[in-house]
Structure 1
């Protein structure tokens, strides 16, 4: 008799739970239930989830999808708010096709292994698609050696121009030693640059200002790692091979 009474009570609680779940969200008020009904309601939910654990996975997957969509939309808005400084700041090196219909912006660090892996991928992308404009953002975040390398590269750009900057940029990407005053001077001399002018220019106010402005831009975009790419209005956080980058470019072209 006790077992039958308990079963009937559980059935009634389950029926009440189903009724509440089918009702508008505002009608589901656990505080209005008796302690007994609330306990039975929770027991039914637990029993359902134990019998159907895939529901939890489905809920987690849906939550992750919604979070990803929200983050992607937030990134689109951040890019739109900072678009001019991203694509035409007046100081960042521009390569590829300067008149291309798609602009790819890369935030990079010379000491970043994935940035080094990205270089041939980007080169392949530019070779395959002659209508891409590439903008390089010096974003040294991996310690003093990174900062020193970026200061050197930017100083070369100020002293010797964009072509010399590209040479130094490529050399620093492949550089396996420790960047210091001696090794960087040797690199400048090896490329036929005015090493004294470059080394003296590394701490020039305009070099510091350029790096500070790029860092501030990255902070506004909530960029904390390298490489990070911006393809038109899409922000891509991390390394992508050329074929995947090409798909993003194609989507942007519509």
Structure 2
């Protein structure tokens, strides 16, 4: 009897159907099943570990699907904001969108890879969403974002690329970046700072960043310009070079 109840208990806990689904148990039998299953799990904790791993995998997949759905719903804001800096062809078929903060050390660490990928894939458009998430901690975070958008407005993609890479090349992040360094890089890119009027022109990026479910930078999206769906849209949380490279390679075929 105990062996039969154990089989039933394990089958039920594993989500397995078994013959006699319409069979009923007495309260005493139900209590026995519960006790046997609980004791078995205590003696074999590997089942709990596997269950926990499956639950975590399911939750991560659900989160990924939700982010992809949000990205597709907001693709116009991601791809067609005229004030957002970009490099590469305006009519590219593949896009890489990066939400970043110049004060973020992980953004710094992936910056050289992105610079290399720009050269490796000249037909891909790289869109840079200035997202100063550390602005409340370090004022130059916001200032660098403002100047970045101003640089693009004045000097276009070429000037922005020079400014963007120049700020990263300084190696200053996590509170070390200064307004003086930011202005120096902007001037090297040909920006007339006398025309600059400080505004919080990055706020819509912060809002979009939040809407897409991102928690930190860098946050990246790789997607086609036309026909984006959950199968050809990639959302990358963090400086995951392998995933970024693979996504670009896959969509560029």
* Structure 1 equivalent of residue 209 of structure 2: 218
1:59 is matched with which residue? 51
In 2: Cα distance, 1:13 partner to 1:48 partner: 12
SS in 2 for 1:145: helix
- Cα deviation code 1:25-84 (max 9, x no counterpart): 98698xx743x4344222210232234332222212222222222122112211110011
RMSD of aligned alpha carbons: 3.0
After TM superposition, give the deviation of residue 188 of structure 1 in Å: 4.3
Check conservation: 2:219, 2:236, Cα contact below 8 A: yes
1-structure distance, mates of 2:11, 2:91: 63
| Cα distance change of structure 1 residues 135 and 39 upon mapping to structure 2, 3 Å threshold | same
Shift, 1:158, TM fit: 3.1
Q: Secondary structure at the match of 1:37?
A: helix
Runs of 4+ residues over 4 Å off in structure 1: 10-29, 182-192
Aligned residue among 199, 202, 217 for 2:198: 202
The alignment partner of 1:137 has SS state of strand
Number of residues paired by the alignment? Answer: 234
Is residue 164 of structure 1 aligned with residue 159 of structure 2? yes
Is 2:144 the counterpart of 1:149?
A: yes
Q: Deviations over 1:98-137 (max 9, x none)?
A: 3332100000100001111111111222222232111000
Q: Distance in 2 between matches of 1:16 and 1:136?
A: 57
In 2, Cα distance between the equivalents of 1:108 and 1:194? 24
Tell me which structure has the larger Cα radius of gyration.
Answer: 1
Partner of 1:250: 249
Q: Would you say the 8 A contact 1:114–1:239 is kept in 2?
A: yes
Aligned-partner Cα distance in 2 for 1:69–1:12: 36
Q: Secondary structure at the match of 1:44?
A: helix
CA contact (8 A) 2:71 2:212 kept: yes
Tell me how far apart the structure 1 counterparts of residues 189 and 205 of structure 2 sit (CA, whole Å).
26
Aligned to 1:89: 81
Q: Which runs of no fewer than 5 residues in structure 1 stay unpaired?
A: 1-7
- Decide which moves more: 87-96 or 37-46: 37-46
After TM superposition, the score normalised by the length of structure 1 is 0.77
Task: Write the distance in 1 (CA, Å) between the matches of 2:38 and 2:189.
Answer: 70
In the other structure, the counterpart of 1:227 is 218
> 1 or 2, which has the higher helix percentage?
1
Q: Which residue of 2 aligns with 1:112?
A: 104
Q: C-alpha separation between the residues in 1 aligned to 2:194 and 2:128?
A: 25
Q: Structure 2 unaligned runs (5+)?
A: 224-232
